[in-house]
Structure 1
């Protein structure tokens, strides 16, 4: 666990689920705790079996100060999360997902942020400022209306006096498009980018998450010094394995930026620009 040296501990649980610990704060991203063989519901009758086991069960989580949810899909918010998470925990998500969580699932502290809106979560001597960032689950105009809205997030960790020690970008299930370029302009100093990959493919051949080539291209555009790939092998709808991303990152000269953290491992990020320690 991270101590008061301004280090951030990322525990990769699987899919897009990461447990984040910074000082007195504990956050969780995109809670997905289905087990191998269980099916995630993706909407309109579409399901996909999980191919892996999460590194933790939802019942093993520590107390949470907040959940950051990129969007409302069954591989990011599943029935195990719905049943077992504390309904009083703050959930920072899209307005669409927040309305659903409050109205239909009883998570009364779910709050929605529109793009570039922000909120702050504080606990003890620590705080994190959460900014909603642009994202598009599909570039197809019809699919964009059918799929739930998605957001990326910038998490700025620091002390309660407002000092920012570390910035963490989480892409959410977006594809690459020109609207993402604004992220690098507004947050040029982010320490680590966590990218949702997988090349998720829907019936009809529609790709709705970044494949390896798109992920490497986004890493190039952002220019962040460290990049951690996640969300690439947990479900049958993921069609672009991690090797695709690694190959393209090599081609673009990005290999030295990569932080490869397997399920169950921790990556310790410091504000000094050192390569994160993976263990």
Structure 2
């Protein structure tokens, strides 16, 4: 099949990122595909949940659940040598990929890595990193990391699953920086109390999945396009950017479905193409 073309990739994407490095007002976002978002703020870079390899396509190629790629790979992670902080919201490979994170760590020796504390042993085994390396958070906790204050919030994928110590195995993160707040959902369904958890943050941008929850896919589900549009309004997000689509043919959604509901609910939104950036204006 013909892959969906990136808006920009490789050298062009790097040039765009570097072009905005001197930005001192507002902040900038790039969508790197699936649930991966890069944030640039005052010369610092926060990378949420990158998946920048074909590891899952290779792993499942000879199975009854092939992970057939739909879109171009936007960049080799080894070329992202400016990253200060990277997250993994949970242990699924499209959010915790050794073939993405290994090269990223090598390219950024001072990088800091934020995970759900409950997942520490699994993460370190998969990535072959020291157990002291990741920074672990639980819901209700926050920590300052390289100029970004990160708050842990629960995620339900499909349940609000906790370990024996009561720590969340699936999480989202709210990043606060320079008076802005951005919510990255990780993978999640809508759960009781979700609006009450998120609304007090008054987020400027919410990154929400739209691929839905279909048991026949035999993978854990997410918000539907309709739910993502409605949730954005209910938590008071100033902008919603959808994610978790256009990567694998068996587990995707048409972003125009999200657009339809966003218009119906009056949700402020922007649909990005892979590799495309979006600038958020200064509050001044």
Shared fold (TM-score, shorter chain, > 0.5): yes
Q: CA deviation at 1:67?
A: 0.6
Instruction: Report the equivalent of 2:86.
Output: 67
Give yes or no for the alignment of 1:32 onto 2:51: yes
Contact 1:39–1:50 (Cα < 8 Å) also in 2 = no
Between the two structures, name the one with larger relative contact order (CA 8 Å, sep ≥ 6).
Answer: 2
* Equivalent residue in structure 2 for 1:6, among 25, 43, 62: 25
Q: CA deviation at 1:6?
A: 3.5
Q: CA deviation at 1:234?
A: 1.0
Q: CA deviation at 1:90?
A: 1.8
Corresponding residue SS for 1:152: strand
1:113-159 Cα deviation digits (max 9, x unpaired): 1102111112xxxx110001121011499xxxxxx92111110012x
Corresponding residue SS for 1:85: helix
Instruction: Report the equivalent of 1:49.
Output: 68
* Equivalent residue in structure 1 for 2:281, among 258, 265, 270: 270
More strand by percentage: 1
Give yes or no for the alignment of 1:116 onto 2:130: no
* Equivalent residue in structure 2 for 1:241, among 254, 259, 262: 254
In 1, Cα distance between the equivalents of 2:37 and 2:250? Answer: 20
* Equivalent residue in structure 2 for 1:226, among 214, 236, 239: 239
In 2, Cα distance between the equivalents of 1:177 and 1:60? Answer: 37
Instruction: Report the equivalent of 1:174.
Output: 188
1:156-200 Cα deviation digits (max 9, x unpaired): 012xxxxxx211111111111222112344212x21111122125
Contact 2:244–2:252 (Cα < 8 Å) also in 1 = no
Equivalent pairs counted in the alignment come to 252
* Structure 1, gaps ≥5 residues long: 142-147, 159-164, 274-279
Corresponding residue SS for 1:96: helix
Corresponding residue SS for 2:105: coil
Contact 1:2–1:268 (Cα < 8 Å) also in 2 = no
1:203-230 Cα deviation digits (max 9, x unpaired): 4777611111111121121111111112
Q: CA deviation at 1:249?
A: 1.4
Instruction: Report the equivalent of 2:197.
Output: 183
Give yes or no for the alignment of 1:156 onto 2:176: yes
Supply the RMSD in Å over aligned alpha carbons.
2.8
Instruction: Report the equivalent of 1:16.
Output: 35
Contact 2:205–2:237 (Cα < 8 Å) also in 1 = yes
In 1, Cα distance between the equivalents of 2:100 and 2:199? Answer: 35
Contact 2:160–2:170 (Cα < 8 Å) also in 1 = no
Corresponding residue SS for 2:247: coil
Give yes or no for the alignment of 1:136 onto 2:150: no
Give yes or no for the alignment of 1:95 onto 2:114: no
In 2, Cα distance between the equivalents of 1:66 and 1:191? Answer: 20
